Structures are given as structure tokens and as C-alpha cells.
A = this chain, B = another copy of it.
Amino acid sequence: MPNGYNGTGTELLARKLDGCVRLNEAERAAILDLPYTVRNLPARHDIVRFGDQPSQCCLVLQGWVSRYAALSEGERQILSFYIAGDIPDLQSLHLERMDHHIATLTASTIAFVAHDELHRLFRRCPSLIGAMWRETLIDAAHYRERITSLGRRQALGRVAHLFCELYLRQRSMGLTSGLSCPMAPKQAELADALGLTSVHLNRVLRTLRMRGLVTLGGGVLTIEDWDELAAVAEFDPTFLHQTGLPVPTHETAVPL
């Protein structure tokens, strides 16, 4: 299973943005020039907290990161998961105050880029604003799909849908291997993202396993039957706004 990323942070960023908006040489160079700092953070470490007024954005180089809201009584709702190439708090560029938390799920490598540097980049290459803006819009598209899941699907469909999403997102970053991919979140964390209890999620996983749709264990998700899984999830990949890549089949899902 591919894991980790060996290039520099700006290379990863350039690769990510290149995925949707074709970069020219000047843009690519400007991105590669961005100054940034890298930190290795342990698991379950808050990167940004509710109420903070960040002066930098973070880019996930390696590991899993979650965005979550904390409610009273220690409950939490995980709003989204982020993997290598994602920029969880781009929004802090224009929203002063954090209304939620961002934390590592696993030990992770995070690159930090100052807002000032990004604004400078935007002045040099105004066309990159659109690319970044687009990233935040895709984030919002993921939120919308989660709302639909929580509002109108029951547990089985919710879990199936999240698995489809996380598999395809990792696939587009070359992190999958056949129909398997890393799945770092524990059952309790998946439950917190899906609006379920870990007890019930566990039962749903058993159902999915017994029906021959997916197996989850040891931090690895394996999709046994994509078509059935997608059917249970009523999954339509449109909301991912990924360019090109076809939906996986046994032929297409082999390592890239």
C-alpha cells in the first residue's frame, strides 16, 4: 500500500493544483518557490483550535487529519477527513476566527504556509486564486454530500458512502492499491464522522462484511464489490469534482 510522500511540500501542492487547473511554468515555479515550514506531529494533536485566528495555512504531506466540532459533554462531530495533498484550513485566509478544530488523526507531517506568502503568490499569479478557491469549493461539495448522507441515508448507506468517497479520494492521490486503501480512522472516529455510535457502526461493518461488500481491519479498507457498495450508498462521484479518473472496476482499480 503506498504510504507517505517523498517529495517536497510545494511539489505536492503543485501536483494537487495541477489536477484541476493546468499550471503553466511560471505558476508552477511560483508555487515551488513558496516558503514553508514542516512539522511532524503526533496522533491526536490539535493543529488549530476553535477561536484561533490563524496566520498560516496547513497542507497535509502525510498522515490523516480531521476537522471536528466539539459539543458540550465531550461529544464531537467529525466534519471531514483530510489526506496527503489536502489543505484543511484554506478557509482561514478569509474567515478570521476558527469555528471548529483541526487535529491530526495519526502521526502526520504537515507543511505550514503563511497567509502573507499566499497573498504574495496570488499577486504574482492571480490565476492561482481560482485554483485555491476551487479547493475550498470542493471541500464544501464534500460537506453537502455529508449533509445528504446524515439527513437521508440510514447507517448502512452512510458508511458505504463514506468508504466510496475516501477510497476515490485516496485513489486520485495514488494512495490505493487495487481495491484496497488505508483507512486510518478507528471505528469510534468513523462513527463520530457519520453521526453514529461506535457500537452501531461496528454492527454495520459486520453487515457489510457478511454481504461481501467491504472488509475493514488493521487500518486497511478492502472493497470486495464496488458496484454493490456504490449501489447501497447511492454513490454518485460527481460531487468529488475529480478530473478524468473513471470509477473503479476490477480492471481500472489496479495500481496506477
A residues lining the B interface (CB < 8 Å): 50-51, 67, 69, 71-72, 75-77, 79, 91, 93-95, 97, 99-100, 126, 129-130, 133-134, 136-141, 143-148, 150-153, 192-195, 234, 236, 238-239, 241
Contact = CB atoms under 8 A, between A and B. Distances in A.
Contact of A143 (B129, B130, B140, B238): B140
* Interface of A, helix, strand, loop or mixed by DSSP: helix
Contacts of A126: 126
B234 A71 contact: yes
A62 to B, nearest CB: 25
B137 A195 contact: no
A238 B143 CA distance: 18
A238 B97 CA distance: 8
A67 B100 CA distance: 24
Contact of A150 (B130, B139, B145, B151): B151
A162 to B, nearest CB: 12
B79 A144 contact: yes
Nearest to A69: B148
A147 B143 contact: yes
B143 A77 contact: no
A99 B141 contact: yes
A241 B75 CA distance: 23
Nearest to A146: B147
B140 A91 contact: yes
B97 A147 contact: no
A158 to B, nearest CB: 10
A137 B100 contact: no
Contacts of A139: 140
Given A133-B136, A141-B99, A239-B99, A79 B148 contact: yes
